[in-house]
């Protein structure tokens, strides 16, 4: 077991599955589609099982990297170097958890180019796991940027009417960020003489340079998170993406930005992080209030949830730059919780979209009359989204605010208003869609959840309550790496003071 | 045992909620009612043990909750006198309301869902009162908020109910905003949120200051005021009270349980629980006194003008909660808890009595269409008479003991705000007596005025009880009806003409019936409580056995005001006489205006139209908030979306760039297909540059 390259297996398995789907010979269109669905489901379930094994064998007490695999390719400059700490572990698990649900959710709703669709998802899964498992900067870069390609395809091919505009916008934003990040990476390789992340973590970058490097990485991660004001690609991308695309986008892709901060910005440029924390706080505060207010007036269900995502992710950035364990653990917990809850909310939209082919809020009303099970599920995720204690949404936001309060009372005072506004826009959405008389003629025959939809929601419901009632299962792996990160960050202002 | 008290209702809620269709209506009713009744029996055992028998205070740890850095939180049950008092209040009223709902909701198609919500509420409330740290209390706090939201909006077809439910949740979130900031500040200062730890450390923070929003402020005052904002939300105190009257959109048993006896008293419980903190913050206590006294008075003034029987009782609740708060403010924690205890009985009684009237009157809630019901529903009239005696503070009845203690404590208090509270409290007592008797007279005495009621018209003209959606439907009709007729009692004279022809007695030929036994029994039991809860427990809550009863559950810095006020000369003889006097004056006014010379109210409205309108429109709070918060938020949201996101960020960013690209790329076809390759190309260039950058160095090193 010790020598089994489990991380490689996690990356390779979906690739094999994708290849099998695309290369398997002939048969009718229907047979190939069925084969694609079954292969995708089995592969993603197998990946999830492997991720569970990875978690069970994980040593929570170790703050360093584990399950390391290293094969030199170009000496110190590029190597196949994998390994995880607790932060990467939980994000890999989240990815592996969501993927089978995406496959089931797309089972009936995707009817065109099924093979390519399923292959794109598996390909994307491999790359996303690669992002979290990379310990080589160039490898990280390839996974990080490469992971976007299947997402462009998913939006561009299986998306809605304005899919071209949406994926182009997505592309423009990320392009800007990645160019700057690449330049920064090149500089770092040149200066430190290595692409190994563990070695870069130990390297002390000059303080003045740190600021520039930090800003360059920030350009990329801020777009990914997304932070205000580079968030406008997200609502469009969500609206145009197919349901499962939104699930992955909200569930995993956004978390790559937060992960980037944790892996690069904070530990490698601690002085710059301290210096620029104020900027991050300011943008987070604006994001919470601004996007919550915008969410209040949305007419499209997906847009509303997309704007709420921006507000939630602002809690992540606020928590990360609080530089204490509650703030950072809270931020990671918000990422996990948001990964499940917003994914579930997009699935909830998908359920009615599949039936009515519209996401316009005004086209619904009174669904509870015919869809009691759906209404219950939607209610639970709505409550989780607005951070009701006992659900996953509460724990993360609470920890973030506890931690951030130590950094700045103003910060918490402002972002806590998001908790009020969040209740307002989510309950308004729920009320307009679910409550009331079922008056619209075309809704009279709408059907409640199918068993496939119930299968998708059941594990998510379980997880939302598990994370809310016994969050330590998910906080335990984070403790050691976060403690290490916090001590690195605490040293930084010390050194600054010494230098003076 | 304590686990059973807390978790039986949860279990029942899950069974009724998830398997309601399998076990049926009666099954759901049995499961939930039995579970809560067992919890009730166990609670009384706990009360006899810990409260009356001076058993040990204990703490049962159930499970670890959140551990992060130096923050550790457990799921735990804390048992002391304060807990067991709340346990019996919650479970007793809850089990009676469960039983009452069997009949009250008999025509509703969604009985299992209703029973499940009631039990869910009971669970959340029990978690709140048994919490041993601020965050678990917050869990219960928001949990009861959720249950309240679900129950107010229970008749989901009714737009007004949905709006009221949402309003209740959002307004409470404003309060919770303060509560959560209080928790963060407490953790910053004490490095813990557990009651025992922070209580022990609180005296050490007295008079210290810290930074809050850029200002240096007193630690304890700031923390307590933040927490008090939370209490104001949940307990509908002035400023955050606007949700409570609207919450009457929910079914009446809900109003009795949640919006009268239990949930709305959570704020009072919170301050009593946190007495070791508030005692270190004298300024905060003064604010509590002022807000409480102002609420007691303000809500009572509105209560005198409302027509809807439930709204009158709702404002009465708001006002009585004000009494509890100013009692807390002057340090009379025992008296506040005593009033909470007695109020739970008589207010639940009044609400369930009102429910019985509404049931008898075919869902009519407007008192202008009541009258003369005494001989038709004598039991309901009788128990509501007892309730009225109790709330107005007639000697021997429950309210007399607790309200007098509060007013005397306010008078005797050395607090600079004590006198203010006493004056407003006595004035509110006068108004309380007036509106309480007004309600009883308008409903049970005078001549029947039923013929003008649309609900009664419905009942008489062949609408039978076989319509399944009947309850919600009837309420719909009522909502529209109230809107159409505004507040002018004479607007629909013409409407009743038809009926007048046949029945000159104003009954329209309608025959109200007394409610069935599942409703009658709770009423009778609560009537016993409203009669006996005062003298029965005075000794424990505020009398001779007070210190052994409360022990460390309540904390008072210095001399307890409830002892002080018994010192000779502290409270002169005219004070209790004044309190009893205003009660009689209120009664006399009500008799004059509603029995002796019924023309007076209309004459009053004609003489002071401005004042009446101001009171009837509830001091214009809703209009003000709409203008200040709701409309600006929506306008700002629209502005930021259209002007900010679309016209600024997008125009300068992606749209601007794409316009340039489109121009140079000559046509859109290239754009649509080309950018993906462009992207891959850029990535490749990046890797190429990287390679060319490090390869020479590789050789140089080698």
Indicate whether A409 belongs to any domain. Answer: yes
| Chain A residues in contact with B177 (beta carbon < 8 A) | 416-417, 419-420
Closest by Cβ to B146, choosing from A75, A296, A388: A388
pLDDT of residue A228: 83
Closest-approach residue (CA) in chain A for B702: A75
| Chain B residues in contact with A60 (beta carbon < 8 A) | none
Cβ atoms of B593 and B601 within 8 Å: the answer is yes
User: What is the C-alpha separation between B80 and A375, in angstroms, rounded?
Assistant: 40
Indicate whether A1 belongs to any domain. Answer: no
Q: What angle do CA A105, A109, A113 make, to 5 degrees?
A: 110
Instruction: Give every CB contact of residue A236 below 8 A, 6+ residues apart in sequence.
Output: A162, A165, A166, A169, A170
Which band of pLDDT confidence, cut at 50, 70 and 90, is reported for residue B663?
Answer: low
- Which of A364, A357, A309 is CA-nearest to residue A161? A357
CB contact under 8 A, B683 and A78: no
CB contact under 8 A, B686 and A294: no
Query: Does B34 score more than 50 pLDDT?
Result: yes
pLDDT of residue B570: 86
Q: B698 exposed, middle or buried (CB, 10 Å; 0-12, 13-18, 19+)? A: middle
Listed in sequence order, the DSSP H helices in B47-110 are 81-104
CB contact under 8 A, A389 and B142: yes
Average pLDDT over residues B673-680: 56
* pLDDT, tens digit (0-9, with 9 covering 90-100), for B521-540: 999 999 999 999 999 999 99
The minimum CA-CA distance between B118 and chain A, rounded to whole Å, is 16
| Chain A residues in contact with B683 (beta carbon < 8 A) | 145-146, 178
Query: Quick one: tokens of A13?
Result: 């398995």
Query: Quick one: tokens of A485?
Result: 């990160």
User: What is the C-alpha separation between B451 and B496, in angstroms, rounded?
Assistant: 6
Which of A157, A175, A232 should be substituted to probe chain B, the one whose Cβ sees the most B Cβ atoms within 10 Å? A232
Which of A146, A229, A420, A474 should be substituted to probe chain B, the one whose Cβ sees the most B Cβ atoms within 10 Å? A420
The minimum CA-CA distance between B682 and chain A, rounded to whole Å, is 8
CB contact under 8 A, B693 and A428: no
Closest-approach residue (CA) in chain B for A330: B68
* pLDDT, tens digit (0-9, with 9 covering 90-100), for A256-279: 999 999 999 999 999 999 988 989
Q: Does A142 touch chain B (CB under 8 A)?
A: yes
pLDDT of residue A2: 60
Weakest mean pLDDT among A465-469, B382-386, B513-517: B513-517
This model of the complex carries an ipTM of: 0.93
Which band of pLDDT confidence, cut at 50, 70 and 90, is reported for residue A162?
Answer: confident
Domain that holds residue A395: 6-499
User: What is the C-alpha separation between B304 and A174, in angstroms, rounded?
Assistant: 64
Query: Quick one: tokens of B364?
Result: 């009519």
The minimum CA-CA distance between B620 and chain A, rounded to whole Å, is 22
* pLDDT, tens digit (0-9, with 9 covering 90-100), for B342-365: 999 999 999 999 999 999 988 889
pLDDT of residue B448: 86
Listed in sequence order, the DSSP H helices in B445-573 are 454-460, 470-485, 493-502, 517-541, 546-550, 561-564
Query: Does B695 score more than 70 pLDDT?
Result: no
pLDDT of residue A461: 96
pLDDT of residue B181: 96
Closest-approach residue (CA) in chain B for A486: B69
* pLDDT, tens digit (0-9, with 9 covering 90-100), for A206-248: 888 999 999 999 999 999 989 888 898 899 999 999 999 999 9
- Which of A300, A366, A279, A324 is CA-nearest to residue A483? A324
Cβ atoms of A92 and A133 within 8 Å: the answer is yes
pLDDT of residue B488: 40
User: What is the C-alpha separation between B631 and B634, in angstroms, rounded?
Assistant: 5
The full DSSP string for A298-337 is --BHHHHHHHHHHHHHHHHHHHHTT-SHHHHHHHHHHHHH
Chain pair A-B, CB pairs under 8 angstroms:
205
- The single residue listed with the structure tokens 């509270």 is B421
Q: Does A402 touch chain B (CB under 8 A)?
A: yes
Measured in degrees and rounded to the nearest 5, phi and psi for residue A391 equal -110, 165
CB contact under 8 A, B637 and A330: no
CB contact under 8 A, B67 and A475: yes
Indicate whether A324 belongs to any domain. Answer: yes
The minimum CA-CA distance between A49 and chain B, rounded to whole Å, is 27
Query: Does A466 score more than 90 pLDDT?
Result: yes
CB contact under 8 A, A419 and B641: no
Query: Quick one: tokens of B384?
Result: 């509501």
Query: Does B666 score more than 50 pLDDT?
Result: no
CB contact under 8 A, B166 and A420: no
Closest by Cβ to A293, choosing from B64, B166, B640: B640
| Chain B residues in contact with A75 (beta carbon < 8 A) | 698, 701-702
In whole numbers, what is the pLDDT of chain B averaged over residues?
86
**Percent of chain B surpassing pLDDT 90:** 63
- Which of B252, B192, B245 is CA-nearest to residue B71? B192
Which of B177, B668, B694 should be substituted to probe chain A, the one whose Cβ sees the most A Cβ atoms within 10 Å? B694
User: What is the C-alpha separation between B467 and B454, in angstroms, rounded?
Assistant: 17
Indicate whether A236 belongs to any domain. Answer: yes
| Chain A residues in contact with B165 (beta carbon < 8 A) | 431
Length of chain B counted residue by residue:
702
Closest by Cβ to A190, choosing from B63, B170, B693: B693
Query: Quick one: tokens of A75?
Result: 């000496």
**Percent of chain B surpassing pLDDT 70:** 87
Cβ atoms of A63 and A481 within 8 Å: the answer is yes
CB contact under 8 A, B634 and A296: yes
Which of A409, A465, A477 should be substituted to probe chain B, the one whose Cβ sees the most B Cβ atoms within 10 Å? A409
Closest-approach residue (CA) in chain B for A304: B641
Peptide bond into A307 cis (omega under 30): no
* pLDDT, tens digit (0-9, with 9 covering 90-100), for B483-516: 333 344 443 443 444 444 445 677 777 888 888 8
User: What is the C-alpha separation between B164 and B248, in angstroms, rounded?
Assistant: 8
Peptide bond into A229 cis (omega under 30): yes
Closest by Cβ to A436, choosing from B146, B162, B695: B162
Closest-approach residue (CA) in chain A for B189: A406
CB contact under 8 A, A405 and B637: no
Cβ atoms of A6 and A56 within 8 Å: the answer is no
Which band of pLDDT confidence, cut at 50, 70 and 90, is reported for residue B701?
Answer: very low
User: What is the C-alpha separation between B600 and B147, in angstroms, rounded?
Assistant: 42
The minimum CA-CA distance between B229 and chain A, rounded to whole Å, is 14
> Residue B414 CB: number of other CB atoms within 10 A?
11
| Chain A residues in contact with B184 (beta carbon < 8 A) | 401-402, 405, 412
Cβ atoms of B618 and B245 within 8 Å: the answer is yes
Weakest mean pLDDT among A220-234, B184-198, B635-649: B635-649
Query: Quick one: tokens of A333?
Result: 């917990």
* pLDDT, tens digit (0-9, with 9 covering 90-100), for B142-155: 999 999 999 999 99
Query: Does B689 score more than 80 pLDDT?
Result: no
Which band of pLDDT confidence, cut at 50, 70 and 90, is reported for residue A498?
Answer: low
Which band of pLDDT confidence, cut at 50, 70 and 90, is reported for residue B461?
Answer: confident
pLDDT of residue B12: 96
Higher pLDDT pick, B584 / B601:
B584
Indicate whether A78 belongs to any domain. Answer: yes
Average pLDDT over residues B282-295: 95
Closest-approach residue (CA) in chain B for A156: B672
Count up the domains in chain A and report the number. 1
CB contact under 8 A, A78 and B153: no
| Chain B residues in contact with A412 (beta carbon < 8 A) | 181, 184
Query: Quick one: tokens of A38?
Result: 């079954």
Query: Does B440 score more than 60 pLDDT?
Result: yes
Indicate whether A86 belongs to any domain. Answer: yes
Average pLDDT over residues A422-432: 94
Q: Does A233 touch chain B (CB under 8 A)?
A: yes
| Chain B residues in contact with A169 (beta carbon < 8 A) | 650, 654, 658
Which of B654, B675, B684, B689 should be substituted to probe chain A, the one whose Cβ sees the most A Cβ atoms within 10 Å? B654
The minimum CA-CA distance between A500 and chain B, rounded to whole Å, is 27
Indicate whether A264 belongs to any domain. Answer: yes
The minimum CA-CA distance between A110 and chain B, rounded to whole Å, is 22
């Amino acid at each position: 077991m010790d020598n089994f390259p489990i991380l490689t297996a996690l990356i390779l398995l979906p690739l094999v599955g994708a290849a099998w789907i695309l290369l398997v010979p002939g048969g009718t269109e229907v047979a190939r589609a069925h084969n694609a669905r079954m292969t995708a489901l089995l592969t993603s379930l197998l990946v999830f099982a492997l991720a569970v094994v990875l978690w069970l064998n994980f040593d929570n007490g170790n703050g360093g990297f584990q399950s390391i695999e290293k094969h030199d390719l170009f000496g110190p400059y590029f190597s196949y170097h994998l390994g995880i700490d607790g932060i990467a572990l939980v994000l890999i698990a989240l990815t592996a958890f969501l993927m089978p649900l995406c496959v089931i959710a797309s089972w009936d709703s995707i009817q065109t180019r099924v093979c390519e669709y399923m292959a794109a998802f598996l390909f994307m899964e491999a790359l996303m796991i690669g992002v979290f498992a990379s310990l080589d900067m160039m490898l990280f870069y390839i996974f990080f940027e490469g992971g976007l390609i299947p997402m462009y395809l998913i939006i561009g091919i299986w998306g809605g009417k304005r899919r071209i505009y949406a994926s182009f916008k997505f592309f423009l934003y990320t392009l800007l960020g990645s160019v700057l990040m690449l330049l920064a990476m090149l500089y770092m390789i040149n200066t430190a003489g290595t692409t190994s992340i563990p070695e870069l973590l130990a390297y002390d970058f000059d303080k003045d340079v740190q600021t520039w490097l930090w800003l360059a990485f920030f350009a990329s991660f801020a777009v990914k998170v997304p932070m205000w004001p580079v968030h406008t690609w997200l609502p469009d991308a969500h609206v145009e993406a197919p349901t499962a695309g939104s699930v992955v986008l909200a569930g995993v892709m956004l978390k790559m930005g937060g992960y980037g901060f944790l892996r690069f910005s904070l530990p490698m440029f601690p002085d710059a992080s301290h210096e620029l924390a104020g900027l991050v706080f300011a943008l987070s505060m604006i994001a919470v209030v601004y996007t919550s207010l915008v969410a209040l007036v949305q007419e499209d269900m997906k847009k509303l949830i997309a704007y709420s995502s921006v507000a939630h992710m602002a809690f992540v950035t606020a928590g990360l730059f609080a530089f204490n364990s509650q703030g950072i653990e809270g931020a990671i917990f918000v990422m996990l919780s948001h990964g499940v809850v917003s994914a579930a909310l997009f699935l909830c939209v998908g359920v009615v979209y599949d039936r009515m082919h519209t996401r316009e809020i005004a086209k619904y009303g009174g669904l509870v009359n015919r869809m009691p099970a759906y209404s219950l599920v939607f209610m639970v995720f709505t409550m989780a989204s607005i951070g009701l204690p006992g659900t996953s949404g509460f724990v993360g936001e609470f920890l973030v605010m506890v931690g951030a309060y130590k950094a700045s009372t103003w910060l918490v005072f402002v972002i806590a208003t998001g908790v009020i506004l969040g209740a307002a826009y989510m309950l308004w959405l729920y009320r307009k869609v679910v409550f009331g008389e079922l008056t619209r003629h075309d809704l009279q025959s709408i059907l409640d959840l199918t068993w496939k939809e119930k299968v998708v929601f059941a594990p998510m419901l379980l997880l939302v309550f598990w994370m809310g009632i016994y969050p330590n299962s998910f906080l335990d792996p984070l403790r050691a790496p976060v403690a290490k990160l916090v001590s690195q960050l605490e040293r930084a202002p010390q050194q600054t003071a010494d230098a003076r | 045992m304590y686990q059973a008290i807390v978790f039986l209702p949860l279990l029942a809620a899950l069974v009724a909620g998830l398997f309601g269709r399998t076990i049926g209506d009666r099954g759901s009713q049995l499961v939930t009612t039995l579970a809560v009744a067992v919890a009730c029996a166990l609670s009384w055992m706990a009360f006899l043990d810990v409260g009356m028998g001076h058993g040990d205070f204990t703490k049962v740890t159930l499970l670890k909750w959140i551990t992060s850095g130096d923050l550790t939180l457990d799921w735990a049950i804390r048992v002391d006198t304060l807990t067991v008092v709340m346990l019996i209040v919650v479970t007793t009223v809850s089990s009676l309301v469960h039983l009452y709902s069997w009949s009250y909701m008999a025509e509703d198609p969604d009985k299992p869902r209703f029973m499940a919500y009631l039990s869910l509420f009971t669970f959340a409330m029990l978690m709140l009162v048994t919490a041993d740290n601020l965050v678990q209390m917050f869990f219960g706090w928001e949990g009861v908020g959720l249950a309240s939201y679900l129950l107010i909006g229970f008749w989901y077809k009714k737009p007004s109910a949905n709006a009221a439910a949402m309003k209740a949740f959002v307004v409470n979130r404003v309060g919770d905003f303060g509560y959560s900031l209080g928790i963060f500040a407490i953790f910053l200062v004490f490095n813990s949120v557990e009651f025992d730890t922070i209580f022990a450390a609180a005296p050490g923070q007295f008079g210290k200051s810290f930074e809050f929003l850029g200002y240096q402020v007193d630690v304890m005052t700031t923390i307590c005021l933040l927490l008090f904002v939370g209490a104001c939300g949940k307990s509908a105190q002035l400023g955050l009270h606007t949700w409570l009257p609207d919450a009457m959109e929910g079914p009446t048993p809900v109003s009795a349980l949640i919006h009268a006896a239990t949930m709305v008293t959570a704020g009072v419980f919170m301050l009593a629980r946190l007495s070791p903190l508030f005692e270190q913050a004298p300024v905060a206590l003064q604010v509590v006194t002022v807000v409480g006294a102002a609420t007691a008075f303000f809500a009572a003034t509105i209560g005198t003008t409302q027509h809807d029987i439930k709204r009158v009782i709702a404002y009465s609740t708001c006002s009585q909660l004000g009494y509890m708060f100013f009692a807390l403010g002057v340090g009379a924690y025992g008296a506040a808890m005593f009033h909470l205890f007695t109020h739970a009985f008589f207010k639940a009684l009044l609400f369930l009595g009102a429910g019985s009237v509404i049931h008898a009157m075919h869902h009519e809630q407007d008192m202008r269409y009541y009258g003369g019901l005494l001989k038709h529903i004598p039991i309901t009239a009788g128990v509501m008479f007892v309730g009225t005696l109790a709330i107005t503070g007639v000697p021997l009845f429950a309210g007399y003991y607790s309200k007098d203690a509060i007013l005397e404590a306010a008078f005797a208090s050395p607090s600079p705000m004590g006198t203010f509270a006493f004056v407003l409290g006595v004035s509110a007592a006068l108004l309380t007596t007036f509106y309480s008797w007004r309600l009883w007279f308008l409903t049970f005495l005078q001549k029947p005025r039923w013929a003008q009621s649309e609900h009664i018209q419905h009942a008489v003209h062949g609408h039978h009880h076989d319509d399944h959606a009947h309850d919600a439907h009837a309420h719909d009709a009522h909502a529209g009806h109230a809107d159409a007729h505004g507040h002018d009692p004479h607007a629909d004279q013409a409407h009743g003409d038809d009926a007048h022809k046949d029945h000159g007695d104003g009954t329209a030929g309608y025959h109200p019936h007394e409610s069935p036994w599942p409703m009658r029994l709770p009423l009778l039991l609560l009537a016993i409580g409203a009669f006996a809860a005062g003298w029965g427990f005075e000794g424990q809550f505020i009398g001779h056995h007070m210190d052994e009863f409360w022990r460390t559950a309540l904390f008072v810095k210095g001399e307890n005001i409830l002892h002080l006020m018994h010192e000779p000369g502290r409270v002169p003889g005219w004070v209790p006489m004044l309190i009893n006097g205003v009660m009689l004056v209120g009664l006399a006014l009500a008799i004059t205006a509603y029995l002796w010379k019924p023309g007076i109210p209309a004459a009053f409205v004609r003489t002071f139209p401005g004042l009446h309108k101001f009171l009837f429109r509830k001091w214009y709070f809703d209009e003000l908030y709409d203008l200040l918060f709701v409309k600006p938020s929506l306008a700002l949201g629209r502005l930021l979306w259209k002007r900010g996101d679309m016209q600024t960020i997008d125009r300068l960013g992606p749209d601007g760039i794409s316009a340039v690209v489109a121009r140079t790329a000559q046509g859109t076809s290239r754009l649509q297909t080309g950018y993906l390759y462009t992207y891959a190309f850029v990535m490749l260039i990046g890797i190429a540059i990287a390679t060319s950058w490090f390869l020479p160095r590789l050789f140089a090193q080698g």
